[in-house]
Chain A
Amino acid sequence: QVQLVQSGAEVTKPGASVKVSCRTSGYTFSIYAIGWVRQAPGQGLEWMGRINTYNGDTNYAQKFQGRVTMTTDTSTSTTYMELRSLRFDDTAVYYCARETVGSLTFDYWGQGTLVTVSS
């Protein structure tokens, strides 16, 4: 069965970086793009960007341009999202999600990773 398993919760300081992993299984990794979506406490969903797992091409939301990098490791079917220069308002649950083929929607999601930015 399709699974996306994310790395564990992180506590980090303002100005630092965080790297969240998303290990996938149960399907052919390179056929489906992976998107990243975050959710601040008590708030809605915010799309951060996506990576084409076949060729590594990325598209980032303008808000995160220059601060986010998404990469893949095809040998382990894992995708990574690194966010730099963290601020207090980056505190959120970060989700990876598999894109449905042919539409930029998300049919399978990871369990979420809570990133807390605190001094």
Chain B
Amino acid sequence: EIVMTQSPATLSVSPGQRASLSCRASHTISSNLAWYQQKPGQAPRLLIYAASTRATGIPARFSGSGSGTEFTLTISSLQSEDFAVYYCQQYNNWPPALTFGGGTKVEIK
């Protein structure tokens, strides 16, 4: 199983500031990585797939980068609605054995 490790567990950021979230894979996964946002009581929302492609309707302030084992989600200027938990997910294998990271909570500083 490919283990996904996210850091930090919690990130305290002021509105308008930049946030960088990290995701590391235990084995190389090429660019087969997605990022999701989840707010309390809601289902996750797809932000990024293929490591750097924004999903439909996702604002340009969200960007993804990386390949292999190291990935980053950057939120360029945090808005109030961006405070949430963010998960990475790898989808490198077939037959599929999808795994998620443990999440990073972005909170208001």
Contact = CB atoms under 8 A, between A and B. Distances in A.
Do A and B pair up? The answer is yes
A41 to B, nearest CB: 12
A105 B103 CA distance: 16
B71 interface: no
Contacts of B77: none
Interface string B82-109: 0000010101000111111111000000
Interface stretch (A24-32, A45-53, A72-80, A84-92): A45-53
Contacts of A107: 46, 55-56
Given A59-B95, A61-B97, A104-B96, A111 B43 contact: yes
A95 B99 CA distance: 15
A38 to B, nearest CB: 11
Given A103-B49, A109-B43, A47 B99 contact: yes
Interface residues of A, number: 22
A102 B1 CA distance: 22
Contacts of B89: 45, 47, 105
B10 to A, nearest CB: 14
Given A45-B87, A59-B96, A106 B44 contact: yes
25 contacts: A37-B44, A44-B87, A44-B101, A45-B36, A45-B87, A45-B100, A46-B100, A47-B98, A47-B100, A59-B96, A62-B1, A95-B43, A97-B43, A97-B44, A100-B46, A100-B49, A103-B34, A104-B91, A105-B34, A105-B91, A106-B36, A106-B44, A107-B55, A110-B43, A111-B43
Interface of A: 35, 37, 44-47, 50, 59, 61-62, 95, 97, 100, 103-107, 109-112
Given A97-B44, A109-B43, 14 more contacts: A44-B100, A44-B101, A44-B102, A44-B103, A45-B89, A47-B100, A62-B1, A62-B97, A95-B44, A104-B91, A104-B96, A106-B46, A109-B44, A109-B45
Interface of B: 1, 32, 34, 36, 38, 43-46, 49-50, 55-56, 87, 89, 91, 95-103
